[in-house]
Structure formats: C-alpha cells, structure tokens
Amino acid sequence: MLKILGKSPSINVRKVLWTCHELGLDYEQDQFGAGFQSTQTADFKALNPNAMVPVVLDGEFVLWESNVICRYLAAREGREDLLSSDPKRRALTEQWMDWQAGELNNSWRYAFPALARNSPQHQDPALIDAGVSEWNRHMQMLEEQLQRSGDYVLGDNFTLADIPLGLAVNRWSMTPMPRPALPAVSAYYDRLNQREGFRQYGRNGLV
C-alpha cells in the first residue's frame, strides 16, 4: 500500500492527501515533522536527505517534493483530467504548480510566520510590510489568470494545478493581514469549497 510520511497540518503534505482523495487512493500515513516523529534521523534522511515532508513510499519506490509526488500519482493512475498527457496542456499545469512552489511560496516566506505564527525571528515591521505587499502582488497575478481562465486556473475544469494553488489561497485568506479585494480569487475559493477533498485538506482551518 502507498505510504505517506508527513504530518497532516503541513501544507505540502495536504497537497498529497488531497491528491490521493481526488484519485480515490488508499494509503497509510505516518506523522513526521515538527511536533511528531523527527525527520532528522538517519533513517528518515536516507529517504529524503532534505529531512523534509512529505515523502511517499510506493513499494520500493521513494519520492519527495510535494508537487512532483502529486504529478507522479496522477500520471500513475492515468488521470488525464488532472494531468494531461498532451505536452502543452501538461506543461501549463506544471507551470502553475511550479509557480506556486517557487514564486508564490517565496512571497509569503517572511510575512506568514510573522503574522500567522507570531515567530520571534520574524518581527521586523518593515520586512513584514514588504512581505505582505509582495504576497498580495503575487495573488493579484493569480486574480488576473482566473479572470482570463474562468472557473479554475486552466479553464472550466479542475486540474492538478488547482490543488497547490487552492491550498495557497486558503493560506492567504486565513492569515491576519491587509488584503485587496480579489473577486475572481474569492469566487475560486468558494468554488473549490464545493469539493470534498478541499473541505478536508484545504479549507479546514489549517494554514
């Protein structure tokens, strides 16, 4: 059986859990990460030298990096609706997934721990303000894409790109900070909430 190593509150673990839900996959989960089993052991680092979650074990096959895991599982199951085999369509899906993991994720790197977690290491007001501004700037980019695309990031149909981006929208919406009105993002957030997988692993009070 597929095994997922990683704590349920982690945004990156929740990407994989939501993907498994969409795919109808059974799995076992072992809770690893801060507050749970340590990722700093030799055994865990043998699986992922970054000592980060999630890690997936599919028989003898070991895989880390959350977006890659999601793509692997969708491709393994042949879910063309989530991850097309058409090179251009697949590239667009991966483009938005990687944008979330890189550009969007980096935009909240200072503001999120400061405002959502009250991190003592992230209390510089100028850096918080700059972080909020950068985070909102990136969300405006998502707003403009959704205005062009329609219901979901790539058009009328839900794809794998909507999983990391949906979780990112949840994080942005729940962090106590000033936010511009982004009507397409708000409508997208409400639309995702109609999916059971998002209700369980996205809009669930966790950021």
Q: 97-156 pLDDT, tens per residue?
A: 999 999 999 999 999 999 999 999 999 999 999 999 999 999 999 999 999 999 999 999
Paired strand residues for 5: 30, 55
- Look at the alpha carbons of 174, 70, 196, 33 in this order and tell me if their dihedral is positive or negative: negative
> How far is the CA of 173 from the CAs of 118, 145, 156, in angstroms?
17, 18, 23
DSSP state of 101: I
> How far is the CA of 106 from the CAs of 52, 83, 103, 111, 128, in angstroms?
17, 25, 5, 10, 13
- The pLDDT confidence band at residue 206, using thresholds 50, 70 and 90, is low
The pLDDT score that the predictor gives to residue 205 is: 53
CA 150 centroid distance within chain? 20
- Give CA–CA dist 191/41, Å, rounded: 41
- Give CA–CA dist 115/103, Å, rounded: 19
Q: 18-65 pLDDT, tens per residue?
A: 999 999 999 999 999 999 999 999 999 999 999 999 999 999 999 999
**β-strand 27-30 against 2-5: which pairing, if any?**
parallel
Q: 66-95 pLDDT, tens per residue?
A: 999 999 999 999 999 999 999 999 999 999
CB 186 within 8 A of CB 193: no
- Give CA–CA dist 185/139, Å, rounded: 8
Helical residues (DSSP H) of 24-175, grouped into ranges: 42-47, 66-76, 87-99, 105-107, 111-116, 125-149, 162-174
Average confidence score pLDDT of the chain: 96
Torsion over CA of 42, 48, 53 and 54, rounded to 10 degrees?
-130
- The pLDDT confidence band at residue 203, using thresholds 50, 70 and 90, is confident
Torsion over CA of 32, 83, 62 and 4, rounded to 10 degrees?
30
- Residue listed under structure tokens 């979650």: 53
Residue 207 reports pLDDT greater than 50: no
